[in-house]
Structure 1
């Protein structure tokens, strides 16, 4: 990813959430803390964010830098999660991998009766524990906890290998024609691939900003997705590629 692309995504996130830590930005972008710090300092030098200890904050009011066409990241993720939730039927066994968009999906599914939910995300399990309906079953994969709160490693992979799921939902760090659906964490990629192998259908949740982003580890190739749920900001060339490669391209309506 070019520096301009990283900085646009950083600015969009800071303006959306009000602020961000350097370490979190580096993890989400798949770059070192030094690189993320330089990007933040570049934005601060242009008067676009306020530099604070350990991170940056949005300016109120402040100038905006468009990260690309389409809706803001959070609104896009909310719409994508709602569209993906409509693919779930009562009584199904589903997998939900760790991620910001998949957590929003979990919250959309709290009222669906009879679900069996398998997840490697502590926050997804907590969402169902505190807000789910009676009769839902939540299976939390064991393993080693990563910085993002995901459980990974041989224990998680062996548990996933013994399951039979109707559908698995995964969020990704990036997607591209050659590298497929990727994440910067190798262990999370292996756990994700294990759950994908255990499911009859794979649904990927990815906003338009993920297109063209390549990370170190592939979870699945593009043609491994039965459904890709994205938003209207996805460019026409990207849609053309994805319609040829994924089973179904579902574009969520963002209010």
Structure 2
């Protein structure tokens, strides 16, 4: 059963009962409880279900979908923190670093805040805010380039032709990309067409392209492909990814790092 078909059936089960427990869903679909939990992470991220202790419920009428960056950063927050700390080891003082929009790249931005003499290229307003000029003179000053693309996404990323045109003339040592999903056939995907175009340009502007994606992104497919898996240099995910899934992912990418969750326990 394909992941998309499984999630469709899973969503139908939750809608039919109003709420459902993980063991019951696993039995109904004939898959492991771990698979159900990963699928619920994906469905919750899209606002289709609300995760509750031990299962999920269908959103009640009047519930507002929490899709802003703050809400997204709370989902798998420990995993995103671990990924960010692992990825930060790639950055050295004096580098030009590209950061796309997204909650995991936002977490990375906070990790990079203390590295001196960085030039940050980003189309994300929250990321740009992280690198605002410090109030204290003894803190490192980081130059920031904000790409004004004209169209603002729900996570406050600016996308569109102006951003793409600007990136054609910029060269980063390394770029970090957040994605909606990773899947062998669809590749790296997002749900926004203009964001996909902007992120493709960001990948092209980087000497090294690194994808930051927690384990719930594996098997998820957004509306449009950014690039194929083999077009990036490194994927950084977390130890929540199943061993079998990690092996499949490793066979499609140049390099895979799995960040141990112990990094998030400090």
C-alpha change, 1:235 and 1:98, in structure 2 (3 Å) is same
Following TM superposition, where does structure 1 have runs of at least 4 consecutive aligned residues deviating by more than 2 angstroms?
3-14, 46-57, 130-135
Q: 5 Å matches for 1:47-126?
A: 51=60, 53-55=62-64, 73-126=76-129
Residues 134-153 of structure 1 deviation map (CA, whole Å, 9 limit, x = unaligned): 43110000112222211011
Q: Distance in 1 between matches of 2:235 and 2:218?
A: 12
TM (normalized to structure 1)?
A: 0.77
Is 1:206–1:230's contact at 8 Å kept on the other side of the alignment?
yes
2:235 is matched with 228
1:66 is matched with none
Say how many residue pairs are matched: 220
Is 2:42–2:217's contact at 8 Å kept on the other side of the alignment?
no
Q: Distance in 1 between matches of 2:124 and 2:205?
A: 17
C-alpha change, 1:242 and 1:54, in structure 2 (3 Å) is same
Q: Distance in 2 between matches of 1:216 and 1:116?
A: 31
Q: Distance in 1 between matches of 2:163 and 2:101?
A: 13
Q: Distance in 2 between matches of 1:52 and 1:114?
A: 49
Q: Which stretch of the first structure deviates more once superposed, 130-139 or 170-179? A: 130-139
2:184 is matched with 177
**Structure 1 unpaired stretches of 5+:** 15-24, 58-71
**Structure 2 unpaired stretches of 5+:** 15-36, 67-74
Pairwise CA RMSD: 3.0
Q: Pick one of 239, 243, 252 that aligns with 2:250.
A: 243
Q: Pick one of 209, 224, 236 that aligns with 1:217.
A: 224
C-alpha change, 1:178 and 1:50, in structure 2 (3 Å) is closer
Q: Pick one of 153, 164, 167 that aligns with 1:157.
A: 164
TM (normalized to structure 2)?
A: 0.74
C-alpha change, 1:124 and 1:131, in structure 2 (3 Å) is farther
Residues 85-128 of structure 1 deviation map (CA, whole Å, 9 limit, x = unaligned): 11111110010000001000000000101100000000000011
